[in-house]
Structures are given as C-alpha cells and as structure tokens.
Amino acid sequence: MKTIFGALVCALTFAAPIANAQTAPVAATATTMSTLRAGVSVPLKMAEALTTKGKKLKVGQRFQLETAESVMVDGNVVIPAGSPAVGEITEVRNKGMWGKSGRIGARVLYVRANGRQIRMTGSLDDKGTTGTAGVVGAVALLPVAGFFMTGTSAEIALGSPVTAFVDEDVSVAIASAPAPMVVAPVAAVPVQSGVPIKN
C-alpha cells in the first residue's frame, strides 16, 4: 500500500509543472504602423558595370543596382542592405570623330524590399574625356588628322556608389518583439519513499 501511495505522489509532483507550463499565457506580437517618408536618401551601388565601349548601350535599357546599407525607420530595418534596385538608361552618346567623348546618363527607378516595390528618384552619369587638345594639335599639323581623333568611352564601374531618394511615402508595419513568457515556479511536494510491506 505504501508503495502505491509513494508512486502516486511522485506522479503528481512531476505532472504539476507540465500542467502549469501548458496553461501559462503566450504573449502576442504587437504590430505598429510607421512611415518611410519621401525624400529619405538610400545609398546604392552598381550591381553591374555600364560602358559606351562596344556601342551596346541603348536608351531605355534597364540595369541592376543594390542597396549599400540598410534603411531604418524608428530603429527598425525597412529596406535591408543588398536589396535589389533597378535603373534605366536615359542618354547614350558613343565616342566619335573630332575628339567626341562618350557619355552615359541614367536614373534610378525603384528598389524592391520585403515583397514591395518602392519608387525612387536619383540620377547618375559619366562622361569620357574629350580629345579636344589632340584634335586642335592635329588640325594645326594636318587638317584631315583631326577627323580621326576620338575621345574616350564613358564608364560607370561595378560597385560605384549612387545616391537615390524615396519618391513616395510608404506605410510600413513594424512588429515589436513579444515579451518573454514567464512560467511561475511550482512549489515542490515532498516525496516519501515507499517501503515495501513485509509479508
């Protein structure tokens, strides 16, 4: 009889903390709304190189960038570093005769972050060096020679920094971390060791 009573007390002692842990309330995650304001600067970098060399660039052509740093709102990341962005070529001038240099003009269109596409503004350009001095010198010696002098191609290198700006107010949901769950300690019930009954 004592053995049965001791086993029953042991079972109740170990079952009590499990029952209490299961009934402890679980904290809910709170969500607040905030706004990423138009005009906020977003540091980008080129994810591909652009050049007028080879005469392959076309106006309207899209190219890839990415965010160089995270953009924060109220201490929370809303545009993570490395988020993809897209730009568009707006001007192309290839190098040419009479010392004409190449030129690239482009603008930033949008960045994609957390499943959203956010409109951006910002421009970038590069102009090769002209061969004007060489043309003037060549023309002075031999007029036809100036026709064959060219400037250099324009180039925007991979990884080049670009600054863009958010072009619209964007509402963002910010989830605050739930409070840690606290489980109340359970008072220990003294356990009596069972003594077998002698026959």
Kindly state whether residue 72 falls inside one of the protein's structural domains: yes
Report how far Cα 165 is from the mean position of its chain's Cα atoms: 14
Q: Which domain holds residue 43?
A: 33-174
**Scanning the structure block, which residue is given the tokens 């010198």?**
137
Give kind and range of the element (H or E) at residue 14.
helix 2-23
- Looking at residue 3, its pLDDT comes to 53
CA distances from 169 to 25, 39, 120, 163 (A): 38, 9, 11, 18
Coil, helix or strand at residue 41: strand
SS3 22: helix
Domain CATH for 126: 2.40.128.260
Q: What is the structure's pLDDT at 107?
A: 97
Report pLDDT for 119: 97
Asked, for residue 167, whether it belongs to a domain, the answer is yes
Number of structural domains in the chain: 1
| Domain assignment of residue 190, yes or no | no
25 lies in a domain?
no
Give the CA distances from residue 104 to residues 126, 143, 154, in Å, rounded to whole numbers and listed in that order. Answer: 5, 30, 6
Residue 69 lies in a domain: yes
Q: Average pLDDT of each block of 10 consecutive residues along the chain (199 residues)?
A: 51 47 52 92 96 91 97 93 97 71 93 94 83 43 49 90 95 73 62 57
- Judge contact between 93 and 85, C-beta under 8 A: no
Q: Does 106 fall in a domain?
A: yes
Task: Name the pTM for this structure.
Answer: 0.63
For residue 184, being part of any structural domain is answered with no
SS (H, E, C) 68-96: CCCEEECCEEEECCCCEEEEEEEEEECCC
CA separation for the pair 86, 100 (Å, rounded): 29
pLDDT at 174: 79
Does any domain span residue 183?
Answer: no
